[in-house]
Amino acid sequence: MIKSKLLLLFIFSLTISSFYAGDPEKGKALYSSCVQCHGDQGMGKLEEKAPKIAGQHEWYIINQLNAFKNKTRVNPKMYPYIKDLSSKDYEYLAAFVSKLK
């Protein structure tokens, strides 16, 4: 009985951790659409008035992407590029961008 409960707990924790773990490799692929404004290293671009995002906290990046998506933060320039991405994609992107130097 205890064994099966432990097993359930184990499976549950695996599911949770894989659900929240952003995969930087997937993020890298998605990031190709961001390069034109934020630069290949996330350093930002003055001409586009796009800020530096390299090394930013994952939770902050995810928060901002969600805010742009639901338009509590308005950014007509960037909106078309992020509107069709899923919250999973945001996690991948954040995992990748936060590791840029």
Residues between 28 and 47 that touch ligand HEC (CB under 6 A) = 33-34, 36-38
Contact 56, 48 (CB under 8 A): no
Contact flags string 50-89 toward ligand HEC, x per CB under 6 A:
xx-x-------x--xx---------x-xx--xx-------
Tokens at residue 55, please?
A: 């090394």
Give the N- to C-terminal CA distance of the chain in Å, as an integer: 49
Among all residues, whose Cβ is closest to ligand HEC? 34
Contact 47, 38 (CB under 8 A): no
Footprint on this chain of ligand HEC (rule: CB under 6 A): 33-34, 36-38, 48-51, 53, 61, 64-65, 75, 77-78, 81-82, 93
